[in-house]
C-alpha cells in the first residue's frame, strides 16, 4: 500500500495506512498537497483509493506566530481541524463528502479518511490549474458554457446537500467549484467545511477572511461573522450563472438569457434571484431554492451529463 498526493507516488516505506491508522516509519515526510494546516494524501491499495487529510501546520505565517509563543493560536488551529471533521462526519448525505475514518496518530496529530474523488467542478468551470485562466482578471474569465440540463442536474445535487447543511443550522460560507468534487458518474459532492458557521454562532475556522471571488456573497465580504443561509444561496447562483453563460455575473447583472437566448424563463428568473445582491431579497435557504429548481426542471429536454 502506498500513500501519496494525487499523481505523486510516495515512498511506501515512509507512509502506510490501514484501518488501524497511519504509520510513519521515518521522520522524513513524503511530498503532499494540502492547505494552511493539513496535508492531503492519496492512499492506494490493490482495489481502493482513499484520501487522508492529516493535520499539519504548513502556513509560514502560522509557523512564525506559533514559534513566537502563540500557543493559543496553535490550539485553535488544531481544534478547527477537528471541528471540521466532526461536522462533516455528522452530515450524512449522498452529495456530501463521506468521512470513512477519523482518529489520531500516536503523536496525537488528528486525521481523517474520505473517498478519493479525483475531479472537481473547478476542472470544467473554473480551471485555476490553467495559467492563462489565473492570469485573466476575474470579471473577464470565460469558459465553455454547460447545457441547461446538465447545469440543473448539478444544481439539484448541490442544493440537496446544502439543504441538509442548512437544516442542521450550518452555513458553509465557502461554496465554490473547488469545493464541489465529482464522482465517476458526474455526481457533485460538497466538501471542505473549514469555513462553516455553526448554529451556535461559532465559526469552525480560525481565519477571519475566507471565500473566493466571484462566489462569495456581498454580505460575507463586509461581515463574514454574521451571514446566514442566503450567503450559500448566492454562491450557488454564481456557479449556475457561470455554467449557463460561460462567465461570472458582473455589476450590470445581465440575465443569463442575454447570453443564452431561449433559456427557460423560470430557470433564468431563479438564477437572477440567487445572485440578488441584497440578502433579504434572495431565497432564504437551499431547500426553497431546490423546490423552485425542481419546478422548472420538468420543462427542460433530456440530456446526458458531460460534467465528468
Q: Is residue 162 included in any domain, yes or no? A: yes
How do the pLDDT tens digits run along the chain, 308 residues long? 444 433 333 333 333 444 344 443 322 233 335 566 677 777 766 667 777 777 666 667 667 777 777 778 777 777 888 888 889 999 999 999 999 888 877 777 788 888 888 788 988 888 765 666 667 787 777 888 999 999 999 999 999 999 999 999 999 999 999 999 999 889 999 998 988 988 777 787 766 677 888 999 999 998 888 899 999 999 999 999 999 999 999 989 999 999 999 999 999 999 999 999 999 999 999 999 999 999 886 666 554 334 44
Q: Are residues 139 and 246 in the same domain?
A: yes
Which of 115, 146, 179 delimits the end of a domain?
115
Q: Is residue 287 included in any domain, yes or no? A: yes
Task: Find cell 466571484 and name the residue.
Answer: 214
Q: Is residue 308 included in any domain, yes or no? A: no
Joined together, the cell numbers standing for residue 207 give: 481565519
Radius of gyration of the chain (CA): 20
Joined together, the cell numbers standing for residue 150 give: 446538465
Contact 83, 76 (CB under 8 A): no
Is pTM beyond 0.85? Reply is: no
Q: Are residues 195 and 257 in the same domain?
A: yes
Q: Is residue 15 included in any domain, yes or no? A: yes
Amino acid at each position: 500500500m502506498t500513500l501519496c498526493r494525487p499523481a505523486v507516488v510516495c515512498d511506501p516505506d515512509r507512509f502506510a495506512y490501514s484501518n488501524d491508522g497511519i504509520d510513519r516509519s521515518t521522520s522524513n515526510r513524503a511530498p503532499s498537497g494540502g492547505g494552511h494546516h493539513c496535508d492531503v494524501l492519496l492512499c492506494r491499495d490493490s482495489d481502493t483509493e482513499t484520501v487522508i487529510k492529516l493535520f499539519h501546520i504548513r502556513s509560514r505565517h502560522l509557523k512564525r506566530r506559533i514559534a513566537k509563543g502563540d500557543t493559543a493560536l496553535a490550539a485553535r488551529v488544531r481544534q478547527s481541524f477537528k471541528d471540521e471533521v466532526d461536522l462533516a462526519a455528522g452530515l450524512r448525505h449522498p452529495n456530501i463528502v463521506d468521512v470513512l475514518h477519523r482518529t489520531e496518530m500516536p503523536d496525537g496529530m488528528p486525521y481523517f479518511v474520505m473517498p478519493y474523488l479525483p475531479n472537481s467542478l473547478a476542472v470544467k468551470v473554473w480551471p485555476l490549474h490553467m495559467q492563462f485562466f489565473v492570469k485573466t482578471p476575474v470579471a473577464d474569465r470565460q469558459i465553455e458554457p454547460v447545457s441547461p440540463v446538465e447545469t440543473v442536474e448539478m444544481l439539484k445535487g448541490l442544493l440537496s446537500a446544502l439543504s441538509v447543511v442548512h437544516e442542521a443550522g450550518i452555513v458553509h460560507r465557502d461554496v465554490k467549484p473547488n469545493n464541489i468534487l465529482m464522482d465517476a458518474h458526474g455526481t457533485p459532492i460538497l466538501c471542505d467545511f473549514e469555513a462553516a458557521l455553526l448554529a451556535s454562532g461559532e465559526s469552525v475556522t480560525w481565519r477571519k477572511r475566507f471565500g473566493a471571488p466571484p462566489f462569495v456573497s456581498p454580505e460575507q465580504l463586509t461581515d463574514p461573522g454574521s451571514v446566514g443561509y442566503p450567503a450559500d444561496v448566492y454562491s450557488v447562483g454564481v456557479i449556475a450563472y457561470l455554467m449557463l453563460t460561460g462567465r461570472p455575473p458582473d455589476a450590470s447583472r445581465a440575465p443569463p438569457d442575454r447570453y443564452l437566448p431561449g433559456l427557460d424563463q423560470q430557470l433564468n428568473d431563479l438564477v437572477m434571484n440567487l445572485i440578488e445582491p441584497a440578502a433579504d431579497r434572495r431565497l432564504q435557504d437551499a431547500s426553497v431554492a431546490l423546490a423552485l429548481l425542481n419546478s422548472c426542471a420538468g420543462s427542460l429536454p433530456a440530456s446526458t451529463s458531460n460534467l465528468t
